[in-house]
Structure 1
Amino acid sequence: MFLQLFRYRLKCLLRDRLLIFWTLVFPILLGTFFNMAFMNLNNDEKFEPISAALVTGGGANDAIFEQTVHQMSLGKDRLFNLKTTASKHQADQWLKKGKIKGYFTDGPLIRLYVQETGISQSIMKTFADHYRQNSSAFADIAKANPEAIQKGLLDDLSQQRNSVKEVNTGGAKPNNVLNYFYTLIAMACLYGSFWGNKEVCDTQADLSSRAARLNLAPVHKLKLFLAGCCADLLIIYGEILILLAFLHFILGIDFGTRTGLVLLTAWIGSMLGLTFGTFVSAITRKGENLKFAVLTAVTMAGCFLAGMMIGDMKYLVAEYVPALAWLNPANLLTDAFYSLYYYDSLNRYLINLAMIAVFTIVFGFGTYLMIRRRKYANL
């Protein structure tokens, strides 16, 4: 009997083209627009060499700095696109016309001339300061210990060594755009609440004629409701799988290597969306359109706080209102997917999953309490 109810309910639900559009087609379209907008956002910014000039002199001290600047202007990873001139007036003209960001003079006192402030100018200042510091240090050492020059110790000091090693906390590289797509999946899961809303509306006899006919049928109301919820859950999960496949195989979105846990998260997210919809629909005694509006508003507010519209919003909420981050199902789902992608440890993922399970149980039990004894004086 239950399987028959499930099959009939599934056929009935699949005929609702409007809900299929909002819960499947709309997220796919939105993911396509996201990909078009963010396709170049994650590309590493290419460093452009700084247009600079050097006013050359004739002293021995000048030659050292001149050689250093020329070395920094060679090769593919050069720091400067260098122009040289013996005329300070010529360098001033280049600077005023915007052909260079600044220029150095290599006299006994190294000077930097710029017309405006910016990143390029700051890099040039840092380069000049670094040279002055090293030059002063080498001069002091040579004066105090002339043997250091003969032993080549100053050459050792001139070698730059980096003692800091960058270590990734997980097996994947940080990605600037993944959070947008993960919030999209969270939105699609919570849009499954529309199916839950439809199930409750088709069960409450005071909301539709279809529900009135179902309540007159010689079938236990709870069995009918559970069969409908199982059909809803199958549709929601199927839509999420289609969305995941589209994002991964068509748009190239990376979900990491834990495919099984990604699918498990999608399943639990589908259950969350379904129970969220049944709960809100059960406690809202007005018409179906109002319930639909409430579900849409709550879902989009949660996705906004999870960083769907403004990427930094997720981190601002976590920093200033951390309790809200844990009470936002959309954020929990987003964080669960990102934890699977980024972290080696499953601790953070399991915490998110536990919170999602708590919400699902609360919504499901709340729905049961609201509809289990609802009776009508007449139909």
Structure 2
Amino acid sequence: MFIHVFIYRFKCLIRDRQMVFWTLLFPLLLATFFYMAFINLNSDETFRPIHAGVISNAAYQQDQSFRSVLTDVSKGEDRLFNLKVASSKEKADQWLKSNRIQGYYFISGKELHLTVKGSGMDQSIMKSFADQYRHDHIAVEDILQTNPLALNHGLMADVSNHQSFVKETSGGSAEPNNILNYFYSLIAMACLYGSFWGMKEIIDIQADLSDRAARINVAPIHKLNAFLAGSCAALVILFTEILILLAYLHFGLKINFGNRAGYVLLTAFIGSVLGLSFGAFVSAAVKKGEGVKTAILMAVSMGGSFLSGMMVMNMKYLVAEYVPLLAWINPVNLLTDAFYSLYYYDSLQRYALNMGMMCAFIVLFCAGTYQIVRRWNYASL
């Protein structure tokens, strides 16, 4: 009887075109739009040489040290500046006004000055360069006043040799990728959209909501067995849809999931069970019509997606910093973080913590649904 109900529930569910659209086609379309919008996000953050200018006045020509340093940082593929030499201040101001340069240096007396238009990363780098040069120049002058022979013992090389005593460490061997969180949260949202399948299974055994549910309740099979068979059919459909989404992201859009394919598939399966059980629990607990149940599931799914960084990437980190409890009770964030942990971290500790929390939610939702459904009785149908 279980297999018989499973097969017919599967045929019934797969013919629901509206549900298939929202749980399969909509995430695929959204993934395509994300790819078109965010694919160049990482390349935009690649450093490009800054268009900078310098006024070639008499003071600049006499300052051999500054000319040498500025020329050195304006050569090679990893150069800091694309340097343009202006013959006068008026010329440099004209370049700055027309945005041909981000700023220009000029020397007045013995002072190095910087003129910029507006503020931004390029302007900050130019200011840092000027500050560093002033610092080094003052240091050299102080040393030469006390030890004039230091110039013959590699003073300039020592001053220009900057060392950092802070070691940067990474949590994993993978390179950080700003666009991955958008796609991982999209997968998590698709898993939570599986809650609509869970809602459908509850509605189809809730005899006071539909004629179909009334017929199921008078059929010679226990409603919990019918619900379990239908839920298994819904899970097969939902997990297949998530696999199609993963395949499209990986093979079609070249989204990187790391080298742990088995764990990725396990996470997708647990996410599917989580979405299905969540939808069933909310639908069983809410004693209203289908419209209210749908609104609640949509609000939780989209609200959780927003807090996990699907719309604004920094939102995920703001929630983790200021409201950490909200991050741990948000199923979309748990799924998103599980996928990113597999990609970025060598250790599985963070991944296991996320999976443990999701499994705990699944047990809670399933137990709550069982306790509610088993008490449903109808005086007449």
Q: TM-score higher than 0.5 here?
A: yes
C-alpha distance in 2, partners of 1:102/1:232?
62
Please give the per-residue CA displacement for 1:325-377, whole angstroms capped at 9, x wherever unaligned.
Answer: 11111111111111111111111111111111111111101110111131111
SS of the equivalent of 2:58 reads coil
1:41 and 1:70 mapped to 2: Cα distance? 31
Q: Which amino acid aligns with 1:179?
A: N
The CA distance in 1 between the partners of 2:117 and 2:331, in whole Å, is 48
- Contact 2:257 2:342 (C-alpha < 8 Å) held by counterparts: yes
Question: What is the distance in 2 between the residues matched to 1:91 and 1:274?
Answer: 65
Q: Which runs of 4+ in 1 moved over 6 A?
A: none
Alignment of 1:102-117 (within 5 A): 102-106=103-107, 108-114=109-115, 116-117=117-118
Contact 1:66 1:106 (8 Å CA) reproduced? no
Letter of the 2:246 partner, please give it: L
3-state SS of the aligned residue for 1:254? coil
Identity among equivalent pairs (%): 57
Deviations 1:4-58 (A, max 9, x none): 2212221221111111111111111111111111111122334133230232427
- In structure 1, what is the Cα distance between the partners aligned to 2:40 and 2:169? 25
> For 1:170 and 1:267, how far apart are their aligned partners in 2?
25
Moved more, 358-367 or 128-137: 128-137
Residue 9 of structure 1 corresponds to which residue in structure 2?
9
The residue number in structure 2 matching 1:188 is 190
C-alpha separation between the residues in 1 aligned to 2:164 and 2:56?
31
Identify which of 304, 307, 318 aligns with 1:305.
307
Cα deviation for residue 301 of structure 1 reads: 1.2
The count of residues paired between Structure 1 and Structure 2 equals 379
Mind listing any 5+ residue stretches in structure 2 that lack a counterpart?
Answer: none
Unaligned runs of 5+ residues in structure 1 are: none
Task: Give me the CA root mean square deviation.
Answer: 2.2
Which string of whole-angstrom CA distances, capped at 9 and with x for unpartnered residues, describes residues 79-107 of structure 1? 33333356455545555665544433346
* Equivalent residue for 1:177, pick from 173, 176, 179: 179
**Does the C-alpha gap of structure 1 residues 292 and 122 become closer, same or farther in structure 2, counting only changes over 3 Å?**
closer
User: What TM-score comes out, normalization by structure 1 length?
Assistant: 0.92
Matched-pair contact (CA < 8 Å) for 2:199–2:279: yes
Is residue 84 of structure 1 aligned with residue 82 of structure 2? no
Higher mean C-alpha displacement, 93-102 vs 42-51:
93-102
User: How far does residue 128 in structure 1 lie from its aligned partner after superposition?
Assistant: 2.6
The match for 2:332 is 330
What one-letter code is carried by the residue in structure 2 that aligns with 1:205?
A
TM-score by length of 2: 0.92
- 2:34 corresponds in structure 1 to 34
SS across alignment from 1:33: helix
Aligned counterparts of 1:89 and 1:291: Cα–Cα separation in 2: 68
User: Aligned in 2, Cα 1:89/1:60: closer, same or farther, shift over 3 Å?
Assistant: closer
CA offsets per residue over residues 229-250 of structure 1, 9 Å max, x none?
1111111111111111111111
